[in-house]
Structure 1
Amino acid sequence: MNRLTTSWGGFELARFPEDPRDTLRAWDAADEYLLGQLKGIDDTAPTDLTGTLAVVGDRWGALSTSLAAHRPVQITDSFLGQEATRANLARNGIDVDAVRLRSVRDLPPERIDVLLIRVPKSLALLEDQLHRLAPAVHADTVVIGAGMVSEIHTSTLKLFERILGPTRTSLAVKKARLIFCTPDPRLARTPSPWPLRYALPDDVGVLAGRTVTNHAGIFCAERLDIGTRFFLRSLPERHGPKRVVDLGCGNGVVGTAAALANPAASVTFIDESFSAVASAEATYRENVPSDMKAEFLVGDGLSGVPDASVDLVLNNPPFHSHRATTDTAARRMFGESRRALRPGGELWVVGNRHLGYHLRLRRLFGNCEVVAGDPKFVVLRAVRQ
């Protein structure tokens, strides 16, 4: 936990879930730059925050917590981001209802007077967000984006310009930059091009040639990533009424493949991204008979799954948290999988070979075998004893 000092006061902030081994802060220089701009810096006047204030893409609640006195609407694709916001409000003695939490799958406010956007890593997610928000923006809306210099490109500015109106950037401060956009009501409001659908290749087993649905911002939304493609070729063959979890499901192709290969299975799709779970459900519904069982959960990994209740966990863990490389998510996913698996239950993991997941799995489960491998990826199997 660290303390963020702003013109609105000091706030103790942490990421969610808290991990004492994780030294990453819950904010960065772009958050600080944006908060300073709102209070007025370099002889600029403070921003009038009356009316409806929307904060989009607030990663760990630093912006929403700092601005809680103005009752912002927070819009995010991250369940963990929402939980971080709730936790950070509570630890600073702020009523959790001071921030109105919405996901990117919810309808945005009908009118937005101040729009603050943390530029996401995914240009597609930004495009989808701007299209969804544009009808709520009016000529007098204050629109400010924020990101690190490495996150803001010419293509980023062109999206603001094309969808909302004239756009300019600030000078860089501590490797952060702001985006200022002046809404132009004369621009045509066009629908978002997302979700995107594509047919899967012929070498992915039961999913060959089937169609997958991808909402904006999910991992490899425009094509099947090579790691998942490798995983699909190596999935275990199981039969009977097994409970299977596609953990970190993304667009749901792994869990859908497991369901098609074993129609008696009950598959649960879990991801912390609202868009990912929506994608997984759309992919599943299109490809699987309607009488087959499935559950779709937005949440913090397997935290809501009872102990010793699962037969098989399929997992392609992320190793990035925004711009930072970290194995925090993988560590938690592996530990939760061991807890949730029945004795004899199995965790199957695909990952880049260099990440060394086999060492962690062997320490945790007491066993780990390489099921398949190539120069880049390995598929690993660990059994709950």
Structure 2
Amino acid sequence: MTTPWGEFVLTRYPEDPHDPLRAWDGADSYPLRHLADTGADLSGAVTVLGDRWGALSTALAAARLEAPAAGPLDQITDSYLTQRATRANLRRAGIDRAAVRLLSSRAAPPERVDVLLVRVPKSLALLEDQLHRLAPALHPGTVVVGTGRTTEIHTSTLRLFEGIVGPTRTTLAERKARLILTTPAGSLVGDGRAGPANPWPARYALPRDVGVMSGRQVTGHAGIFCADRLDLGTRFLLRHLPQRHGHEHVVDLGCGNGVVGTAAALANPGARVTFIDESYAAIASAEATYGQNVGSPAAPAAFVLGDGLSEVPAGSVDLVLNNPPFHSHQATTDTTAWRMFTGSKSALRAGGELWVVGNRHLGYHAKLRRLFGNCEVVAGDPKFVVLRAVKA
């Protein structure tokens, strides 16, 4: 990526030389040019919100290398993988990792922000939550620049900036990207005056047709998939979960709000359940959902923020339950699902089972049959299938 402060070789995480997707796009380079062209003072407290793979944070860290007594440069993200990518890209650029303070979406926000650069996320709820959390740190002189591809910025996006931060306008599009320029003046900015309340997290009751979870409460933090409702794929899986008991170690892989792993814990009271996700919001949601429905079982659950099953010992799992994502930000891809499937095969003991729910058209059965040598359709409807693969 070429920036006003040099060229950088950037990669996504985990690195894959065959991955056709880049670690940056026009929505990363455009705001960096804008900050340089307008002479924005980058020596104060700078916050990057929603960086995808560390492109913005790496470039701004380079821009501040010569700044005397520079304030903190904070990256706020909901993604563990983004943090890993940022560390790798800083190292590749020869920049000390201490140049960027990596904060999660659940961490306490900075107390002051002089420059706020926002990469608009796919989740409007996550943007809403984070703007609410950051608004008290803004002041009338804060430079606020949002950025995204033209297909990612909608009227609802601008309405959030306008209602929470202040007067907002957009720029002309360049290379399929557009900027959002906002002047802090909203009711939440600076002095803590009363304003609209942050509606997150969301809490709701499940319908009455989802097995052991029927009617139970779920918590969803902003940013997770279907944070304020039960998605149809998970609903279908809950209706067809394994009925056999005796699983000693169950993994809810890509746990989201944790409803599937919580159902497995209720159906197998003696089981040890591990919830895994790369999203900080998902882990917080799963902990809340599990805690309010299971309490303190004999075998307490584990909540793991990480890269799939990479930290789970091989041959240690009896059952993996998985509703894999098929998007990476705006790109449609089966890369994440394939890594989840291969990781599951390694983590499962002999005779262990992987249960997957997915859209019928995604063809996961072919991938599972190729990987495990077998795949059974447990249930299906016109849209979804629940698949079962057994490790030989």
Q: What's the TM-score bracket when you normalise by the shorter of the two chains?
A: over 0.9
Match of 1:150 in 2: 151
Match of 1:59 in 2: 52
Q: Secondary structure at the match of 1:382?
A: strand
Shift of 1:190: 4.2
> Pick from 27, 31, 54: which aligns with 1:30?
27
For 2:131 and 2:20, the matched residues in 1 are separated by 32
Q: Which amino acid aligns with 1:149?
A: T
1:97-108 correspondence to structure 2 within 5 Å: 97-108=98-109
For 2:247 and 2:254, the matched residues in 1 are separated by 22
> Pick from 334, 347, 357: which aligns with 2:354?
347
Q: Secondary structure at the match of 2:114?
A: strand
Is the contact between residue 220 and residue 285 of structure 2 (CA under 8 Å) also seen in structure 1? Answer: yes
1:17-96 correspondence to structure 2 within 5 Å: 17-40=14-37, 45-69=38-62, 70=64, 72-96=73-97
Is the contact between residue 195 and residue 214 of structure 1 (CA under 8 Å) also seen in structure 2? Answer: yes
Match of 1:267 in 2: 273
Match of 2:376 in 1: 369
Shift of 1:164: 0.9
Is the contact between residue 351 and residue 390 of structure 2 (CA under 8 Å) also seen in structure 1? Answer: yes
Match of 2:363 in 1: 356
In terms of mean alpha carbon deviation, does 300-309 or 61-70 score higher?
Answer: 61-70
For 1:92 and 1:56, the matched residues in 2 are separated by 21
Match of 1:202 in 2: 208
Match of 1:258 in 2: 264
Q: Which amino acid aligns with 1:52?
A: A
Q: Which amino acid aligns with 2:23?
A: A
Q: Which amino acid aligns with 2:367?
A: R
Is the contact between residue 219 and residue 250 of structure 1 (CA under 8 Å) also seen in structure 2? Answer: yes
Q: Which amino acid aligns with 1:60?
A: W
1:84-233 correspondence to structure 2 within 5 Å: 84-184=85-185, 187=188, 188-233=194-239
Instruction: Quote the RMSD (CA, aligned, Å).
Output: 1.1
For 2:269 and 2:120, the matched residues in 1 are separated by 41
Q: Which amino acid aligns with 2:255?
A: C
Is the contact between residue 68 and residue 98 of structure 1 (CA under 8 Å) also seen in structure 2? Answer: yes
Q: Deviations over 1:319-356 (max 9, x none)?
A: 00011000010010000000000011110000111111
Match of 2:341 in 1: 334
For 2:374 and 2:134, the matched residues in 1 are separated by 49
Shift of 1:89: 1.0
In terms of mean alpha carbon deviation, does 90-99 or 5-14 score higher?
Answer: 90-99
> Pick from 302, 309, 313: which aligns with 2:320?
313
Shift of 1:221: 1.1
Does 1:16 find its partner at 2:16?
no
Q: Which amino acid aligns with 1:327?
A: D
Shift of 1:191: 3.7
Shift of 1:241: 5.4
The 3 A distance-change label for structure 1 pair 186 and 269 is closer
Shift of 1:184: 1.0
> Pick from 224, 238, 248: which aligns with 2:244?
238
For 1:48 and 1:168, the matched residues in 2 are separated by 21
For 2:3 and 2:165, the matched residues in 1 are separated by 29
> Pick from 372, 381, 385: which aligns with 1:378?
385
In terms of mean alpha carbon deviation, does 284-293 or 106-115 score higher?
Answer: 284-293
For 1:168 and 1:273, the matched residues in 2 are separated by 31
Gaps of 5+ in 2: 65-71, 189-193
Q: Secondary structure at the match of 2:8?
A: strand
The 3 A distance-change label for structure 1 pair 241 and 363 is closer
Is the contact between residue 164 and residue 187 of structure 2 (CA under 8 Å) also seen in structure 1? Answer: no
Q: Secondary structure at the match of 1:232?
A: helix
Gaps of 5+ in 1: none
Q: Which amino acid aligns with 1:8?
A: W
For 1:117 and 1:103, the matched residues in 2 are separated by 15
Is the contact between residue 251 and residue 276 of structure 1 (CA under 8 Å) also seen in structure 2? Answer: yes
Is the contact between residue 78 and residue 279 of structure 2 (CA under 8 Å) also seen in structure 1? Answer: yes
For 1:339 and 1:283, the matched residues in 2 are separated by 28
For 2:166 and 2:292, the matched residues in 1 are separated by 37
TM-score (normalizing by structure 1)? 0.96
Q: Secondary structure at the match of 1:140?
A: coil
